[in-house]
Amino acid sequence: MQWVDARRKEPCPICGKADWCRVSTDGTWAICRRLQRDGAIVRRDKNGSEFYLYRLGDQAPHRPAVSFPDVLTARLADVSTRDRIYRALLSELGLSAKHRGDLERRGLSGAQIRAGDYASLSLQGRSKIAQRLVNMFGPHDCACVPGLYVASEGTRRWWSLAGMPGLLIPVRDVDGRIMALKIRADDPGGGPRYTTLSSRKYGGPGPGALCHVPLHTGLATDTVRLTEGELKSDASTALSGALTISVPGVSNWRLAMPVLEALGAREVLVAFDADWREKLEVARALTNCARHLLKSGYTAWFENWTPDQGKGIDDYLLRHGHGPTRYIGLAALRCARSAAARKVG
């Protein structure tokens, strides 16, 4: 038998409290840890504490049974639905001390970590958390949110969460809504360190490639930095006070163009990793991005630093406390072109 914890929306049917007690997922049994009434079956847990088991029968609350969508769907939920469900998921998961320490070492304060809604995804307890989300939001909406899926073994089916264990990083739109979740894997093995939470391998949807906008209440948006990687942009925004948006890879720089327009930006600081000197694809992306920004009427700056000063812009800011050298306009384009030319040569 499967159980769910009592909560505010569905309190214990015996004592009416929203914690400590439990109800079976089919709504026929309740465990109350507070009240012993007629009909209670007295039991003890492994710690020796008494609890009271009640058969609810016809008086069972109208708790939804475990339910699944009629068919698997690749339809992606709208942003508002994803935002609601992801916020509930992150709240259920919480943040481990290890991951909190990792974020602090990247330069984020306690207040910024709390506001960022970061969370830790482990292997344990996934089905329980997934079922809570389904109880709150319904199976059809949950089936359209990347990361939630229906697992199966033989004739048995249950809701679960996809993804490698690791740190969950919200991917936000201009309005701060959570569109997707990026995972920084604790142990990627031979795979990538960063992946996007998705249900595609289970027949469900993936979120696609997205431009991330960190929370920026009170920050100016006339000058915006562009980099790659969500956690890098969060840290760079926190360290510099300059809004730093990000794309999921240098070749995806075009995703930033509608975001820059929505923010009302006039100046753009292009801050791709220092490895543009070593990687042709980064140098080419830098060239194409700078050219497009200039043609689109933006004042384009290229932020330049050497690999020994830090790989990413967040590394540089953390080490030096200020931004790197900048080249403006055509000088930025010439710098990028020369880098690409050297790599081709």
List the domain boundaries for the chain: 3-59, 79-202, 223-344
Give CATH for domain 223-344: 3.40.1360.10
Tell me, what's the pLDDT at 195? 96
Q: What percent of the chain has pLDDT over 70?
A: 89
State yes or no: pLDDT of 71 exceeds 70.
no
Q: Which residue has the higher pLDDT, 20 or 146?
A: 146
Could you tell me the end-to-end alpha-carbon distance of the chain, in angstroms, rounded to an integer?
Answer: 67
Sign of CA dihedral 164, 81, 229, 243: negative
Q: Are 109 and 238 in contact (CB under 8 A)?
A: yes
User: pLDDT tens, 309-328?
Assistant: 999 999 999 999 888 887 77
Most confident of 19-23, 133-137, 178-182: 178-182
Binned at pLDDT 50, 70 and 90, residue 59 comes out as: very low
70-84, 126-140, 180-194, 198-212: segment of lowest average pLDDT: 70-84
Concatenated DSSP letters of 60-102: ---PPPP---SS---PPPPHHHHHHHHHHHHHHH---HHHHHH
Binned at pLDDT 50, 70 and 90, residue 285 comes out as: confident
Burial of 150 (0-12, 13-18, 19+ CB in 10 A): buried
Tell me, what's the pLDDT at 282? 82
Q: How many Å apart are CA 162 and CA 147, to the nearest integer? A: 5
Tell me, what's the pLDDT at 332? 55
Across 61-90, average pLDDT: 77
**79-202 matches 223-344 in fold:** no
What does the block give as tokens for 335?
Answer: 């710098």
CATH superfamily, with its number, for domain 79-202: DNA primase, catalytic core, N-terminal domain (3.90.980.10)
CA atoms within 13 A on the CB side of 254: 2
Q: How many Å apart are CA 285 and CA 249, to the nearest integer? A: 10
User: pLDDT tens, 218-237?
Assistant: 999 999 999 999 999 999 99
Q: How many Å apart are CA 184 and CA 168, to the nearest integer? A: 7
Across 187-202, average pLDDT: 92
State yes or no: pLDDT of 64 exceeds 50.
no
Tell me, what's the pLDDT at 73? 61
Tell me, what's the pLDDT at 28? 81
State yes or no: pLDDT of 163 exceeds 60.
yes
Tell me, what's the pLDDT at 6? 82
Tell me, what's the pLDDT at 61? 45
Q: What is the mean pLDDT of the chain?
A: 87
Across 271-290, average pLDDT: 84
State yes or no: pLDDT of 335 exceeds 80.
no
